[in-house]
Chain A
Amino acid sequence: MATDTLQSERIHHYLRPKKSFPNVWCAGCGNGIVMGALIRAIDHLGLDKDNVVVVSGIGCSSRMPVYLDFNTLHTTHGRALAFATGVKLAKPNLKVIVITGDGDALAIGGNHFIHACRRNIDITTILIDNKIYGMTGGQFAPTTPGGKIATTAPYGNYEKQFDPVQLAIGSGASYVARGTVYHVAPLERMIIGGIQKKGFALIDTISNCHTYYGRFNKEGDAVAMINDIKKQAVSVKMAATMSEDKLQGKFLTGVIHETDATEFCDEYQAMCERVLAKGGK
């Protein structure tokens, strides 16, 4: 079962303990929880490590591939999906997973994000969504809620927010889910679902940055923040039975959108075959 806790030995099978540890993450960071979920999902699916490529951009979450014993590509800020698109189209048999953050995917990488969704290319994207820039020390992100404090929003954030789930659905992704670092078992299932889905999958993963976001906004330590995440999360199923009033201040979790649209590399291959069948005309 995917939700079984893997023996640490088994976990080590997927890590690079000699070279890349200790990691750069703060104690209590949700990134490690997501990494654990990803490893268990891959283990559950029985993927060959040699055929998994993990691509990331820049940011705290984007350090993840360095620790993982797959083919790993730690790229430039915001561009992970563009690199991943090249890998996937070049070798469609490879399983391509992108680890990104909310600033990486939605601000500097917003253009690549919507176009990867539009192409519906078979890439599983785990967006670790902690509502702030952590690596650079706590600046506001496109996901930072209104009124919240960040170093570049010292009087409270007055910008509007992106909802990555709605953005992905609107742009054509075929599998869109939201998980949290509290609900680990469902998160694993969503990652499994995303990898199995032929097409672009987004798993928007709500996480905590107690070091900056929590401290600036007096939301407490990692435990307090993760508890808040638990309280605010409502599964799609539950939400169907709840009044609008009750849904105030909550966010939806679960698989929010799933369709069977054709996939980019398949379409490319089909086009090539059509062209060749017509003798290259």
Chain B
Amino acid sequence: MNSKNSKARLLQGNEACMLGALYAGVEFFGGYPITPSTEIAEGMAREMPKRGGKFIQMEDEIASMAAIIGASNAGCKSMTATSGPGFSLMQENLGYAYMTETPCVVINVQRGGPSTGLPTKIGQGDTMQARWGTHGDYTSITVAPSSVEGCFYETVRAFNLAERFRTPIIVLLDEVLGHMREMMVIPEEGEIEVMKRHRPDVPSEWYRHFEITPSLVSPMASFGQGYRYNVSGLTHDQDGFPTAKPKEILDKLNKLRNKIVRYSDEIVKLRTEKMEDAHIAVFSYGTVARTAFQAVKMARERRIKVGAIQPLTIWPFPDEQLRDMLKNVRKVIVAELNMGQLVHEIRRIAPRHTEVIPLQRYDGNVMTPSEIFDKIREVVK
């Protein structure tokens, strides 16, 4: 460093999400203004008209979610961005996207809740909502960056995962991350992979929009391409027609789960710091993960054998990988900006010898390094 960096730019987290989406080839954005995510919509309103893309400000978040699903079925890579209250409004149609296996990306820049809560302050209260927000059984993929650069890369990854698995992808940010500015270099075109939609190559009479293929992921035709398929939120057979047959219902629901669970190794992404010899681990995501890294650094300077684990994929939860990482860990501190959500997941998977210690803050402020550091010192005794 320490030289003029002509390629690096100072970008806001929300802006980096927007640029990541453009890099990934987003063609349609439908949204509704809400703090602290609005900069994403504003950026899209500026950029899309210049690039042959479509931007629409819908009448609410219900409509935004609906519009992007419609656009995705018409063949466009589509996305929306919102925060807590809007994310709640999107849930029913998000469920429709899971059921109809419609690829799209939903960014939720988390603020304090419940309800209107704290529009300009940080929270991680939507962690479980990203997993279980809509009614019924399904499996979600949720990714969560912690830096401006990460916002860019995780948004690109979200679009790739959406196309790869024909499913909606949630990107969880938080208010601090969405608004923070950092340096980053936008990769050149072609530098990172951008996945295209897997189109059918069979004649239209053979095409089944929800076909259970060996890989479990069905190729996807678009409206207007001659395939004339039916899409319905009703539980349907492989052709998309409503069914009440137990076998077909099971096949459909198992497909929704297994097309993700079977590939969780491919989806899971973790970052670790100083875990090699750690007896104590701090588990956290988003902005809190950065606090944790700082606290680990402070503790290491005092020769405490502590490490940090940050999931960049929250859902599916990295069960196997974490079990392995916690093998030699005596205590794991789960630091969250909520009243305890991921801590229950850690309790579920933690080895018997590993004590799970919650550390929570939910007053609208980000956890400080000294809070985590104090906890480390307390549990090391």
Q: Known contacts being A79-B63, A79-B66, is A275 close to B231, with CB within 8 Å?
A: no
Contact between A76 and B92, CB atoms less than 8 A apart: yes
Within the complex, which residue of B54, B67, B72, B234 is in contact with A82, where a contact is CB–CB below 8 Å? Answer: B67
Q: Known contacts being A82-B62, A276-B50, is A91 close to B67, with CB within 8 Å?
A: no
Q: Is A73 an interface residue (CB 8 A)?
A: yes
Q: Is A151 an interface residue (CB 8 A)?
A: no
Within 8 A of A (CB), among B52-96: 52, 54, 56, 58-60, 62-64, 66-76, 78, 92-93, 96
Among A47-55, A181-189, A248-256, the one that faces the other chain is A47-55
Chain A residues whose CB sits within 8 angstroms of the CB of B228 once the complex forms: 49-50, 69-72
Q: Is B229 an interface residue (CB 8 A)?
A: yes
Within 8 A of B (CB), among A44-84: 49-51, 53, 55, 65-66, 69-76, 79, 82-84
- The residue in B76, B225, B230 that gathers the most chain A C-beta atoms within 10 A of its C-beta is B230
| Complex Cα gap A75–B64 (Å) | 14
Q: Is B263 an interface residue (CB 8 A)?
A: no
Chain B residues whose CB sits within 8 angstroms of the CB of A111 once the complex forms: 59-60, 63
Contact between A71 and B224, CB atoms less than 8 A apart: yes
Q: Is B43 an interface residue (CB 8 A)?
A: no
Shortest C-beta distance, A108 to chain B (Å), equals 10
Within the complex, which residue of B68, B227, B239 is in contact with A19, where a contact is CB–CB below 8 Å? Answer: B239
B47 to chain A: closest residue by CB: A280
B99 to chain A: closest residue by CB: A76
Q: Is A20 an interface residue (CB 8 A)?
A: yes
User: Which size bracket describes the interface of B in this complex?
Assistant: 35 or more
* Chain A residues within 8 Å of chain B by Cβ, number: 40
Contact between A93 and B70, CB atoms less than 8 A apart: no
Main secondary structure of the interface of A (DSSP, over half): helix
Shortest C-beta distance, A52 to chain B (Å), equals 9
Q: Known contacts being A66-B230, A94-B224, is A19 close to B241, with CB within 8 Å?
A: yes
| Complex Cα gap A280–B53 (Å) | 13
Contact between B59 and A83, CB atoms less than 8 A apart: no
Q: Is B133 an interface residue (CB 8 A)?
A: no
Q: Is A27 an interface residue (CB 8 A)?
A: no
Q: Known contacts being A50-B226, A73-B70, A73-B73, is A90 close to B28, with CB within 8 Å?
A: yes
Q: Is A257 an interface residue (CB 8 A)?
A: no
B237 to chain A: closest residue by CB: A19
Contact between B230 and A72, CB atoms less than 8 A apart: yes
Q: Is A86 an interface residue (CB 8 A)?
A: yes
Contact between A112 and B75, CB atoms less than 8 A apart: no
Q: Known contacts being A70-B228, A75-B233, A94-B224, is A280 close to B50, with CB within 8 Å?
A: yes
| Complex Cα gap A53–B228 (Å) | 9
Contact between A89 and B56, CB atoms less than 8 A apart: yes
Q: Is B223 an interface residue (CB 8 A)?
A: yes
Q: Is A87 an interface residue (CB 8 A)?
A: yes
Within 8 A of B (CB), among A77-130: 79, 82-91, 93-94, 111-112, 115
Chain A residues whose CB sits within 8 angstroms of the CB of B223 once the complex forms: 53, 71, 73, 87, 91, 94
Within 8 A of B (CB), among A266-281: 268, 271-272, 275-276, 280
| Complex Cα gap A280–B223 (Å) | 30
Within 8 A of A (CB), among B13-60: 27-28, 30, 49-50, 52, 54, 56, 58-60
Chain A residues whose CB sits within 8 angstroms of the CB of B75 once the complex forms: 90-91
Contact between A275 and B233, CB atoms less than 8 A apart: no
Contact between B52 and A272, CB atoms less than 8 A apart: yes
Q: Known contacts being A74-B234, A91-B223, is A86 close to B70, with CB within 8 Å?
A: yes
Contact between A82 and B66, CB atoms less than 8 A apart: yes
Q: Known contacts being A51-B224, A85-B58, A89-B71, is A76 close to B66, with CB within 8 Å?
A: yes
Chain B residues whose CB sits within 8 angstroms of the CB of A90 once the complex forms: 27-28, 54, 70-71, 74-76, 78
| Complex Cα gap A90–B229 (Å) | 18
Chain B residues whose CB sits within 8 angstroms of the CB of A50 once the complex forms: 224-226, 228
| Complex Cα gap A275–B78 (Å) | 22
Contact between A94 and B232, CB atoms less than 8 A apart: no
Shortest C-beta distance, B149 to chain A (Å), equals 25
Contact between B49 and A272, CB atoms less than 8 A apart: yes
Contact between B224 and A75, CB atoms less than 8 A apart: no
| Complex Cα gap A90–B223 (Å) | 10
- The residue in A53, A72, A74 that gathers the most chain B C-beta atoms within 10 A of its C-beta is A74
Shortest C-beta distance, A185 to chain B (Å), equals 28
Chain A residues whose CB sits within 8 angstroms of the CB of B78 once the complex forms: 86, 90
Chain A residues whose CB sits within 8 angstroms of the CB of B200 once the complex forms: none
Q: Is B242 an interface residue (CB 8 A)?
A: yes
A69 to chain B: closest residue by CB: B228
Contact between A89 and B49, CB atoms less than 8 A apart: no
Within the complex, which residue of B52, B69, B239, B241 is in contact with A86, where a contact is CB–CB below 8 Å? Answer: B69
B55 to chain A: closest residue by CB: A268
Chain B residues whose CB sits within 8 angstroms of the CB of A73 once the complex forms: 70, 73, 223, 231
| Complex Cα gap A280–B49 (Å) | 8
Chain A residues whose CB sits within 8 angstroms of the CB of B60 once the complex forms: 111
Within 8 A of B (CB), among A8-45: 16, 19-20
Within the complex, which residue of B28, B63, B93, B224 is in contact with A89, where a contact is CB–CB below 8 Å? Answer: B28
User: Residues of B with Cβ closer than 8 Å to A?
Assistant: 27-28, 30, 49-50, 52, 54, 56, 58-60, 62-64, 66-76, 78, 92-93, 96, 222-234, 239, 241-242
User: Residues of A with Cβ closer than 8 Å to B?
Assistant: 16, 19-20, 49-51, 53, 55, 65-66, 69-76, 79, 82-91, 93-94, 111-112, 115, 268, 271-272, 275-276, 280
Q: What are the nearest 4 A-B pairs in CB distance?
A: A86-B70, A86-B67, A82-B66, A82-B63
Sample of 15 A–B contacts (CB below 8 Å): A19-B239, A72-B228, A72-B230, A73-B73, A74-B232, A79-B63, A83-B66, A85-B67, A87-B70, A89-B54, A90-B70, A90-B76, A91-B76, A115-B58, A115-B59
